[in-house]
Structure 1
């Protein structure tokens, strides 16, 4: 045994220092750096473990938060879908409302166009009526010289425009009012009345009595009223007058009538009326009728000179050959004398300015 031990562990000088190195290795473990490194490693291990635990907790929290977020996302998606559906429904309703509004706007535009057409047509109709009245007034002034008819036409045009408050019609209304005042201020005779008087005289020429046909008026018998049968006589306070017999009263009446027929009072300041034969009477009446017709024509033509001559000659014939004491003859003769002083030759105004205003109003209405 000793031999084996000696052979197994030979003592050599190189193996002798091994034990001190091992001791130095263990001693080196107790070095402060090693201890610090171990502490650091421990701290790092503890930190890693703690961090891992925190990461696990964080993973769990993140997973929980992700789950909650997914639920919220799903809820948001559901609400977003509901909102989208609502928006789509509102868009559909808005499209329907826009379509209705567009239709209403189209109808409003059509109604406005129709109103404009109706208003324009009404204005054109009124202006056409006014133009017709003005043309009638112009014709009455230029052709017939009838101021009264022209006034009536102008007044009807003014009344037609009175219900229209249009700015473009104001100059026309002023012009018509000015023409009416001008016609009213004219010093004209009543042409219609004189024409009617001449017409009546022409119709009665054949019935007017002549001067040589004049006979004294017959005396009307005075008939004394007889008391009624059964009436009581009226009491008189004065004494009763004795009346002559009836035959005597009739005799006196006849005598007085015959006596009045023998006496005739006539004027001596004019010559005796000429005795005319039936043929001359016809010619006289026809010549008088022709003179009156000529006077009426001159009246319509506003020829004052011819009118005065014809009426003067007709009045002279009536004074000489007709019975001026007759009521009808005296009345017609007075009409002729009155007509002789009538003023016919007056320059009548025209309506050109008013017609120009009408044309301007039409142009403004068309614009």
Structure 2
């Protein structure tokens, strides 16, 4: 029935074309096509579920991205902290390296300056040697004075110091320069002060001590040679008959002396030393005399006096004082103790300071001229 109403005749369609379009709209609106309700609800549920899944997936992706971003930020911050620490540690090293580079540049510049200065000095030295050859005599005199001071203060050799000063004075004399008269005056004063020192014959003292060492074996030890017995009265018999009593007494005394021998000693006898003790005693004496010889060369007056006093004390205690060898050694020891060993040398030489100043002035003047 619906199809019949909706299809108009052909004549009407041609004469009224607008009426032909409108009836289907009215009929479609009036009679909509019914749809089943169950498929529409299930589609909506599926769409909602898909939407929820999409939202969950999006939320999961967003959450994972957020977590990954936080992890990356934390790692980046940690790396930045480590980088900051490394920069802080690198700064002192860079500063030290920079200082070392500056120091190296300064040393290189100083080396170049020293090299240039050395070349200049060599050139000036050649120039000076060609201009003032006599000035070398002045430098040689200064060297000789320095050597004299070393001989005097280090070796205590006054004679060598005097000889060196005399040679230095000869170099100044050869210059024939009136301006050097104050220097020669200082030379004369130094030589006079050294000549005024008491002359110490070291070689003579050492030889005298060596003679005492050689004489040790001849010293008699006390108690080894008892004193001679007192001589008895004259036992010579008389030819006169009037002296019969004296002859009888002398005969009796002679018989008694030969039958019983009694001897008296003037001094108390001491116990004899054993052979080992005698050897050690003389060895100690020899050692003390050798120490005295070394003290002479070193001018150690305290050691020298102590060694000789020990020898004198042991001689008096252990050896026979009446023997000529012991008496000779005691007298020699007293003479050696009376020898002056300590010397008071001058603290400085007046000529040395004047020569140093003069050499510096000459060199400065010649350098300025060059």
TM-score past 0.5 threshold: no
| Pair member with larger Rg | 1
Return the structure number with greater relative CO, CA threshold 8 A, min gap 6.
1
